[in-house]
Amino acid sequence: MESNSALSEIIEGVLADVNNRLVPISILEKQLDQAPVLRDAYSALNKKELSLIAEVKRSSPSKGALATISNPVELANSYQAGGAEIISILTEERRFKGSISDLVSVKSAVSIPVLRKDFIVTEFQVYESRIIGSDLMLLIVAGLSKSKLRDYFQLATGLGMQVLVEVHDMSEVESALEIDSKIIGVNCRNLKTLEIDKTVFDLILPRLPENVLKVAESGISTRDEVEKIESLGANAILVGETLVKSGNPVHTIKELLNR
């Protein structure tokens, strides 16, 4: 990983923040008994029609502030009402202005699965994800060594969570398939430069195996784009910026999905 890339800078901050929350794994293991019941994210995405993962997103490294979300529960409820199958909650604090409390409050308010969207780079965060009620957890291939990717994937699934494994190129796809990923997210945003390149969808989506659920991530804002992505074989789209800026997320979801 390039030391000056946006991804490595974000991970550096994440590690510093994790350090402030760190407790022994033995304590986390005891807390698992009180963890919220899990919902089936795989089934939520495994439908004939295209599914939508709607994101609670205040800010991003590429665009800065996107929306003032003072009430994430209200936003998540509108996402559910609009027909979203999963709510994605950013829990990274520095660049995305997210928080763990956002996820905890949304999980208890909605009846659909929630995705913890963060840069999971430690074993601690995997346990933490389960304890706070994440049904689905993100692992970014570009941010992990092969051994850590495998270990965290196995730990997460062992704890009952499902994992969205994010890729940006075909070599990362190989790593994702080697660990038997069931849900693969194709992100067209380069995490080193933060630039969007939608040809990544054309390149990767049609080449993913039939038995894998395929999620298209980043830069999706119009019905035409959604149709194109669906024609490439995607089972789901993940949309954040377009929804938080729309002013009427229920209408925007229905528009994007043509429902």
Catalytic residue among 128, 217, 230, 241: 217
- Residue 57 designated active-site: yes
Nearest one of 32, 41, 101 to 72, comparing CA atoms: 101
Nearest one of 201, 197, 87, 186 to 142, comparing CA atoms: 186
Catalytic residue among 51, 57, 85, 88: 57
- Residue 187 designated active-site: yes
Catalytic residue among 117, 134, 190, 241: 117
Catalytic residue among 88, 187, 190, 235: 187
Catalytic residue among 55, 92, 128, 230: 55
- Residue 166 designated active-site: yes
- Residue 217 designated active-site: yes
- Residue 55 designated active-site: yes
Catalytic residue among 88, 175, 181, 218: 218
- Residue 172 designated active-site: no
- Residue 245 designated active-site: no
Catalytic residue among 85, 92, 128, 166: 166
Active site residues: 55, 57, 117, 166, 187, 217-218
